[in-house]
Amino acid sequence: MDGTAIMSLQPIAARPAFARWLATTNDITRIFLSAGRIPGLINMAGGLPAAETYPVAELAAIAREVVAAHPQDVLGYGPIEGLPELRDTLAARFSSEALPLERANVLVISGGMQGLDLIGKVLLEDGGLIAGQFPTYLGALDAWRPRAPTFRNIMIEDAGFDAVAALTGAQFGYTVPNFSNPTGRLVGIETRQGLVDAAHSTGTWLVEDDPYGTLHYDGAPLPRLIDLSARARPGQPYDGPVIYMGTLSKEIAPGLRIGWVIAAPEMIAALTLAKQGSDLCTSGLTQRVALAALDAGLIETVQPLILATYRHRRDTLCAAMAEHLGDWLDWEVPVGGMFVWATARDAGLDTDLLLPHAMAAGVCVAPSSVFDASGLNRRAIRINFTLNEPETLAEGVRRLAQALMSMQARRG
């Protein structure tokens, strides 16, 4: 010691910006995010893919090959916007006659979560208004919390939804139109068109977050908002109001951390500036792996296994729910995605209070409060059906029924 006084560190929680941020988080989130680490607990809370569907051997072979063939791309820093070849491949994949896309329309991101973060950095002012589909993806709430935004909860699944009123005055609109997280619902075609028209007529940016679009178990997919918003002008790349976000997390594997934004070149340039201050560039290794995987048609190769696995798990879960939970909860069987959203029949049932009973019974689900910026929506739960084997799902439902009974007994 040279005699220099050592001050105790300033407490982080006392920093006004951090304290304001922390005050809007929900303790319940921390509880259910830790569920995967508790031995014996059946985790139906997270939104995780089935690890059995990851194409391990194919990815291992691709990774070995790209490291040897493209050492500079894989091991060096790369362009902030992403590898040009990957951007071109993604532009071609999503292009159509009505939606002409160029490299300038595409930004490669480190998973869809980064897209949400960058959009917040670019579009959101402190306290700004977000018109967000309600209930709202927890990760989006988390990404935008540092700006302490105001949420206008838009009920886009309700009959009579007024898209112009919803978007007017907002800094951006946010929707997960395909098998939303958390509700698993599909936004109908008229509502999609209404949102897009409202984005044009009000001049509001509209974020289309689409990680689940290919997880379609029954019926046919609906057009993307970005396709509906295209107003093709000869020789011009897309310059409409939709900011489309996709990811390989549910189509191949989340550990790759590869996603993309497709939007007007002006928006891509702004998001690129934000990305520079965030991570400089997405991993060159996983970009090269993603490019080779896309070129080899790996998404199309694994899709039948993913769809068959998840369709069966959904059916098993819903059958077990019908057997054990029908007296307590109402739900719709989702036609795609990863979740069943179940609402308590008893308006007085508080699903935050159900959580400790569920954990004691050995199962975890996500309570609705975490999908509401105000935390007040406490009557529903989100149940994931993709992660666990069918028999585990059925056992999880039996445990949930026990938890509901134990909670009821406590309430008297």
Ligand X SMILES: Cc1ncc(COP(=O)(O)O)c(C=O)c1O
Asked whether the bond before 334 is cis by omega within 30 degrees of 0, the reply is no
Please tell me whether residue 254 binds ligand X under the rule CB under 6 A. yes
Q: Which of 48, 394 has the CB closer to ligand X?
A: 48
Q: Which is nearer to ligand X, 174 or 331 (CB)?
A: 174
What percent of the residues of the chain are helix, what percent strand, and what percent coil, each to the nearest 5?
Answer: 45, 15, 40
How far is C-alpha 146 from the geometric centre of its chain's CA atoms?
Answer: 18
Q: Which stretch binds ligand X (CB under 6 A): 90-98, 106-114, 309-317, 367-375?
A: 106-114
Residue 169, Cβ density class (10 Å: 0-12 exposed, 13-18 middle, ≥19 buried): exposed
Alpha helices (H) in 124-250, listed in sequence order:
138-144, 163-167, 189-202, 225-229
Q: How many CA atoms lie within 13 A of 133 on its CB side?
A: 27
- CB-nearer residue toward ligand X: 139 or 223: 139
3-state class of 383 per DSSP?
Answer: strand
Q: Is the CB of 328 or the CB of 339 nearer to ligand X?
A: 339
Binding residue for ligand X, selected from 41, 43, 47, 396, defined by CB under 6 A: 47
Closest CA to 109 of 228, 324, 275: 275
Instruction: Tell me which residues in 49-88 interact with ligand X (CB under 6 A).
Output: none
Radius of gyration of the CA atoms of the chain, in A: 22
CA distances from 390 to 96, 164, 350 (A): 39, 43, 28
Residues 187 and 332: their CA atoms lie apart, in Å, by 14
The least distance separating ligand X from the CB of residue 210, rounded to whole angstroms, comes to 8
From 183, 130, 129, select the one nearest 158 (Cα to Cα).
183
Smallest distance from ligand X to CB 181, Å: 4
Q: Smallest gap, in angstroms, from Cβ of residue 179 to ligand X?
A: 9
In terms of CB distance, is 202 or 282 closer to ligand X?
282
Structure tokens at 136: 């709202």
Residue 87 or 382 with smaller CB distance to ligand X = 382
Tokens standing for residue 212: 């689940």
Total site size for ligand X, rule CB under 6 A: 14
Query: Quick one: which of 208, 209, 251, 372 contacts ligand X (CB under 6 A)?
Result: 209
Please identify which residue in 49, 120, 149, 211 interacts with ligand X, judged by CB under 6 A: 211
Binder among 43, 171, 249, 287 for ligand X (CB under 6 A): 249
Contact set for ligand X, span 120-159 (CB under 6 A)? 137, 139
Minimum gap (Å) between residue 396 Cβ and ligand X: 19
Establish if 337 lies at the interface with ligand X (CB under 6 A).
Answer: no
Nearer to ligand X, 250 or 378 (CB): 250
Q: Which stretch binds ligand X (CB under 6 A): 8-16, 109-117, 143-151, 187-195?
A: 109-117
How far apart CA 302 and CA 250 sit, in angstroms, is 11
DSSP string computed for 351-367: HHHHHHHHHHHTEE-EE
> Given the rule CB under 6 A, which of 32-40, 59-67, 108-116, 222-230 is the region that contacts ligand X?
108-116
| Least distance to ligand X, CB of residue 59, Å | 16
Q: Which of 149, 173, 259, 336 binds ligand X (CB under 6 A)?
A: 259
Scanning 25-33, 111-119, 232-240, 351-359 for contacts with ligand X by CB under 6 A, the matching segment is 111-119
Closest CA to 46 of 363, 344, 343, 399: 363
| 111 near ligand X (CB under 6 A) | yes
- Contacts with ligand X by CB under 6 A lie at 47, 111-113, 137, 139, 176, 181, 209, 211, 247, 249, 254, 259
